[in-house]
Amino acid sequence: MRLFDRAVPGGGRAARRPRPAADAPLIRCHALGKTYRMGGGDVVALTDVDLDIAAGDYVAIMGPSGSGKSTFMNLLGALDRPSHGTLAIDGTPLERLPAPALAAFRNRTVGFVFQQFNLLPRTRATDNVALPLLYAGLSARDRRRRALAALDRVGLADRADHWPTQLSGGQQQRVAIARALVTRPRLLLADEPTGALDTATSAEIMTLFGALNAEGITIILVTHEAEIAAHARRRLTFRDGRLVEDTGR
């Protein structure tokens, strides 16, 4: 089974559209910035980021609190819009998309993994994983089939009908990763994915990320831990809203 084949709501194949050139980056930012209007004036959260990230890359984002890294991740995840500059992902200029198209793009192209797992506590693992497919309009049968395949991919096929409270922290994070993978995204964004885990479990999760990246998934993760960032091939450091270091290209 090819877990990462592209699909559209209803379970059919994605309609053909122009694809970026083979050597085009998956992510391209030019003069990307974000300013928030606050009661006391404007707050500049991100300034003039110029950056390309290739398909299949593995990138760690670091920086102190307030450095702009979370704002940058929100823009990459199509959770927010830039105030200026351009951002294209998979050949799609996100700043031009109307809200419904932006939401559809996010569901189709980006998977999210969070520090606190964000699982529904009264919902079994399979249904937690299948939730993004409900929004995509797939049938119940297709949702379960793909959720089981995603759980199998992260080594939890035998926990499909368990509640989150019956799972360890590492198992809950694997369920969360399966949920991120079930839409078959090209880009996986992880925000402190090992922050709530012990050292041994963190190592298991990072091994899983490495395997997913080897299969072609582009991974971008935020971390404060140098040993976690060391798993990536490239490290971006933000400070005061600016990209100040880019290593490992």
Q: For residue range 105-140, what is the model confidence (pLDDT) as tens digits?
A: 998 899 999 999 999 999 999 999 999 998 878 899
In this prediction, residue 248 carries a pLDDT of: 75
Q: Nearest to residue 136, comparing CAs of 1, 2, 14, 4?
A: 14
Coil, strand or helix at 81: coil
**What SS3 class is residue 194?**
coil
pLDDT reading at 23 higher than 90? no
Reply yes or no on whether the pLDDT at 10 is more than 90.
Answer: no
pLDDT band at 53 (very low <50, low <70, confident <90, very high): very high
Residue 81 included in any domain = no
Token match 């109307």: residue? 98
DSSP 7: B
pLDDT score for 3: 38
Give the CATH number, domain containing residue 227: 3.40.50.300
pLDDT at 196 over 60: yes
pLDDT at 38: 85
Contact 173, 197 (CB under 8 A): yes
Residue 220 maps to a domain: yes
More confident residue, 22 or 228: 228
Q: Is residue 116 part of a domain?
A: yes
Looking at residue 24, its pLDDT comes to 80
- What per-residue confidence (pLDDT) applies to 197? 94
Using CA atoms, how far apart are residues 82 and 84, in angstroms rounded to an integer?
5
> What is the arithmetic mean of pLDDT over 56-71?
95
**What's the whole-number mean pLDDT along residues 31-50?**
92
Rounded to an integer, what distance in angstroms lies between the CA atom of residue 27 and that of residue 72? 12
First CA to last CA distance, the chain: 32
* Helices within 137-198 (DSSP H only): 140-153, 169-181
Range with the poorest average pLDDT among 1-15, 105-119, 157-171, 202-216: 1-15
Both structure tokens of 103 = 């939401």
- Which residues are 30's β-sheet partners? 86
Confidence of residue 18 (pLDDT cuts 50, 70, 90): very low
pLDDT at 242 over 60: yes
Per residue in 203-237, pLDDT tens?
999 999 999 999 999 999 999 999 999 999 999 99
Report the C-alpha gap between 62 and 46 in whole angstroms.
Answer: 14
Helix (H, G, I), strand (E, B) or coil at 244: strand
Residue 167 lies in a domain: yes
Is 16 among the domain residues? no
The predicted structure's pLDDT at residue 89: 96
Assess if residue 112 is contained within a domain: yes
Task: State yes or no: pLDDT of 90 exceeds 60.
Answer: yes
The two tokens of residue 159 are 């926990």
Number of domains in the chain: 1
Place of tokens 């490495």: 210
Q: Do the beta carbons of residue 184 and residue 4 sit within 8 Å?
A: yes
Could you tell me if 27 and 92 are in contact, meaning their C-beta atoms sit under 8 angstroms apart? no
Full strand arrangement of the beta sheet holding 187-191: 110-113, 187-191, 218-222, 58-62, 234-239, 242-247
Question: Which pLDDT score, from 0 to 100, does residue 9 have?
Answer: 37
Domain with 192, as residue range(s), is 55-71+99-247
When the pLDDT of each residue in the chain is averaged and rounded to a whole number, the result is 89
In a domain, 82, yes or no: no
9 vs 19: which has the higher pLDDT: 19
User: Percentage of the chain surpassing pLDDT 70?
Assistant: 90
Q: Could you give the CA distance from residue 226 to residue 39 in angstroms, rounded to a whole number?
A: 37
Residue 5's pLDDT is what?
Answer: 39
Q: What pLDDT, on a 0 to 100 scale, did the predictor assign at position 20? A: 45
> Taking a C-beta distance cutoff of 8 angstroms, is the pair 59, 235 a contact?
yes
Q: What backbone phi and psi angles, to 5 degrees, belong to 73?
A: -65, -40
